[in-house]
Structure 1
Amino acid sequence: MFSLKHSLSACLVLAYSHAVPALAADAAAGAEKAAMCAGCHGPNGKSSNSQWPNLAAQQPAYLAAQLKAFKSGARTNPMMQSMIGNLNDQDIENLAAYFAGQPAAKAGGDAALVKTGADKSGMCLGCHGAQAQGSAQIPRLAGQHPGYLVAQLKNFKEGTRQGGPMQSMASTLSDDDMKALAAYFGSL
Structure 2
Amino acid sequence: MKRTMLLAMAAAALSGNALAQAPAGKGDPIKGKQIAETVCAACHGADGNSVAAANPVLAGQSQAYLVTQLKAFKGGVRKNPTMLGMASTLSENDMQNVAAWFSAQPAKPRQAADKTQMELGKKIYRTGNAATHVPACMACHGPSGAGLPDQYPRLGSQHAGYVAKQLTDFKANADRKNATMYDIASRLSDAEMKAVSEYISGLR
Question: What's the TM-score, normalizing by structure 1?
Answer: 0.91
User: Letter of the aligned partner of 1:145 in structure 2?
Assistant: H
Q: Which residue does the alignment assign to 1:51?
A: 54
Q: Secondary structure at the match of 2:15?
A: helix
Q: Which residue does the alignment assign to 1:187?
A: 202
Alignment pair present for 1:40 and 2:54 = no
Q: 1:113 aligns with which of 107, 111, 117?
A: 117
**Structure 2 unaligned spans of 5+:** 127-135
Q: Secondary structure at the match of 1:2?
A: helix
The correspondence of residues 62-81 of structure 1 with structure 2, limited to 5 A, is 62-81=65-84
CA distance in structure 2 between the aligned counterparts of 1:5 and 1:184, rounded to whole angstroms:
22
Kindly report the root-mean-square deviation, in angstroms, between the aligned alpha carbons of the 2 structures. 2.0
CA distance in structure 1 between the aligned counterparts of 2:107 and 2:29, rounded to whole angstroms:
16
**Structure 1 unaligned spans of 5+:** none
* Paired-residue identity, %: 40
CA distance in structure 1 between the aligned counterparts of 2:177 and 2:109, rounded to whole angstroms:
26
Q: Secondary structure at the match of 1:66?
A: helix
The correspondence of residues 6-25 of structure 1 with structure 2, limited to 5 A, is 7-8=9-10, 10-13=12-15, 17=20, 20-25=22-27
Seen in structure 2, the aligned counterparts of structure 1 residues 5 and 169 have a Cα distance that, compared at 3 Å, is closer
Structure 1 residue 164, shift from structure 2 partner:
4.0
Q: Which residue does the alignment assign to 1:138?
A: 152
- Write out per-residue CA displacement over residues 71-115 of structure 1, whole angstroms, 9 at most, x where no aligned residue: 111111111111121211111011111101101123322111122
Structure 1 residue 5, shift from structure 2 partner:
6.0
Seen in structure 2, the aligned counterparts of structure 1 residues 127 and 86 have a Cα distance that, compared at 3 Å, is same
Higher helix proportion:
1
Structure 1 residue 8, shift from structure 2 partner:
3.4
